[in-house]
Amino acid sequence: MVRDMAEVQAKKTEREDRDIPVMKDFTSPEELYRELIKSVVRYHPSTDISMIEKAYQTALSFHEGQVRKSGEPYIIHPLCVAIILADLELDKESIVAGLLHDVVEDTPMTTEDVARAFSDEVALLVDGVTKLGQLSYSADKVDEQAENLRKMFLAMAKDIRVILIKLADRLHNMRTLKYMRPEKQKEKARETMDIYAPIAQRLGIAKVKVELDDLALKYLEPEVYYDLVAQIAEKRSSREQYVQSIVAEVKQHMDNAKIEADVKGRVKHFFSIYKKMVNQDKTLDQIYDLFAVRILVKSVKDCYAALGVIHEMYKPIPGRFKDYIAMPKPNMYQALHTTLIGPKGQPFEIQIRTYEMHRTAEYGIAA
């Protein structure tokens, strides 16, 4: 009964926390296609959608009669992959390749057919995704071998868009993993945690990386995952009130300092919390910085000005300040991180970055 309630709460929490839109099960292909076009036009109003329409009709025709483990028409999968790519604001060719990414492997259509019907560029993307799908991974590989496979994965893709399509493919497969056999679920989850999530991190695509990690944890450590869901849900209301009170206070001080800022709070993702518990050998009740406040401003100058305001408001914890603006991470991530003692004596983290830095943090190399 507790597990059932946790599963319901997990679905609710996943919907609330996701940065990338997720389509409900068994949405019709037509509805998904309309959603895809709406998303593409939103970020690229002048896009000629005729090639996307042609790719959709081609995939619909070649995948006709094929169904997924869920029982839904197979076309749902490439449509959802294309929607994820559109959310990452990729170009038209990537969207088209996302719609066609399984036709060479699963239908009579060849790479040459794709080139003739669309373009050499699209054919190369589809061929690259097909070849990456042929890499095998064994869950008993040691860390060094997993790292070698990650390097091979990156080296094989002549075009970085191939990897982005493959990440979108894996993300949708992880979202629908419940329809697979339990042993297959664990195999795919381990591969996701060892290969795909680290690659997403290496490319700086936080919004994909955190969801892959959370979904992998859900299938690798289900008891831990659902216990976390239940415990966080139990305290979510009071914690959110606390976070929002800090957000309001920070926003007021930013306004007083004439710093134009967007201030938001969030509970950290399940996998992030789980790692803290394991690394620090603590229970959830002993992990205090479960939430973070993010401040978005217009300029680097405003980042440091906002930091000064924050350090006047709350007591900073020594040794917990990181300047990733002066010293960016290898994946291009930039921000100021500081951990502070909140109004109730509870530590919390604040991240300060410009809007441009935020876009890079969320979309990484796709930006």
C-alpha distances in angstroms, 84 versus 67, 112, 216, 258?
A: 20, 26, 18, 37
Q: CA-CA distance, 19 to 6, in Å (whole number)? A: 21
Q: CA-CA distance, 194 to 220, in Å (whole number)? A: 12
Give the pLDDT score at 16: 47
Contact 274, 284 (CB under 8 A): no
Give the pLDDT score at 358: 95
Nearest to 162 by CA among 154, 174, 152: 154
Give the pLDDT score at 24: 55
Q: Which of 25, 30, 64, 105 is catalytic?
A: 105
Q: CA-CA distance, 174 to 196, in Å (whole number)? A: 11
Q: What is the pTM of this model?
A: 0.85
Question: pLDDT per residue over 62-79, tens digit each?
Answer: 999 999 999 999 999 999
Give the pLDDT score at 11: 54
Per-residue buried b or exposed e for 145-171, using 16+ beta carbons within 10 Å of the residue's own CB = ebeebbeebeeebeeebbbbbbbbbbb
Give the pLDDT score at 232: 82
Give the pLDDT score at 291: 81
Give the pLDDT score at 347: 86
Q: Which of 16, 30, 31, 106 is catalytic?
A: 106
Question: Maximum distance among all alpha carbons in the chain?
Answer: 66
Q: Which stretches of the chain score pLDDT less than 70?
A: 1-26, 137-145, 288, 367
Q: CA-CA distance, 337 to 322, in Å (whole number)? A: 5
Domains of the chain, start order? 2-220 (1.10.3210.10), 235-366 (3.30.460.10)
Q: CA-CA distance, 347 to 180, in Å (whole number)? A: 41
Q: Which residues pair with 339 in a beta bridge?
A: 349
Q: CA-CA distance, 363 to 192, in Å (whole number)? A: 19
φ/ψ (deg, to 5) at 146: -65, -40
Q: What is the DSSP string of 80-128?
A: HHHHHHHHTT--HHHHHHHHHTTHHHHSS--HHHHHHHT-HHHHHHHHH
106 is catalytic: yes
